[in-house]
Amino acid sequence: NPLGSPDVIGFTTGSYTGVVLMLLAGASSYAALAAGALVGGLLTAFAVYLLAFRRGVRGFRLIIVGIAVGALLSSVNTWFSVKADVDTALRAAVWGAGSLSSIGWPAVLMSSALVAVV
In tens, the pLDDT along 41-96 reads 999 999 999 998 877 777 788 889 999 999 999 999 999 999 999 999 999 998 88
Distance CA 84, CA 72 (A): 18
In tens, the pLDDT along 15-48 reads 999 999 999 999 988 889 999 999 999 999 999 9
Within 53-104, where are the H helices?
A: 59-83, 86-97
The pTM is what? Answer: 0.82
CATH topology of domain 2-117: ABC transporter involved in vitamin B12 uptake, BtuC (1.10.3470)
Distance CA 117, CA 2 (A): 29
Distance CA 111, CA 82 (A): 32
- Alpha carbon 97 to chain centroid, angstroms: 12
Residues 6+ apart with CB under 8 A from 91: 23
* pLDDT for the residue 57: 75
